[in-house]
Amino acid sequence: MTARWSRPVRSGLVWRNWDSAAVVFHEESGQTHYLNELARWIVEHLGCTPSTTDEICESLAAAYGVDVDDELEVTAAATLTTLTRLGLVLKRGDD
């Protein structure tokens, strides 16, 4: 089974946006997090479209007009791991 990432149904996120970055207050944990452009895009995307890591990379590449390469895949995977640790996204299944 391929892992799918999503945002929790009751994510309780309060957003404040600045240009390409954002600060988000996570009501469930009581913590506030700074999200760079990539993290912000992923959290917003997963709020609408649960996706595999490959689908996230393909959507990112299309949104930013770049190719999917090793650097994008590694950066997206690391960002997903961090967002999961913070409780902002969920992983279901295994890669």
pLDDT band at residue 95 using 50, 70 and 90 as cut-offs? low
Q: Encode pLDDT of 36-56 as tens digits.
A: 999 999 999 998 999 999 999
The token pair at 24 is 């988000």
Q: Encode pLDDT of 3-15 as tens digits.
A: 899 988 766 888 8
CA 58, CA 61: separation in Å to the nearest integer? Answer: 5
What does the pLDDT read at residue 20? 82
The token pair at 41 is 């895009």
Mean per-residue pLDDT for 51-76? 96
Spell out where 1-95 has E strands.
4-6, 13-18, 21-26, 31-35, 90-92
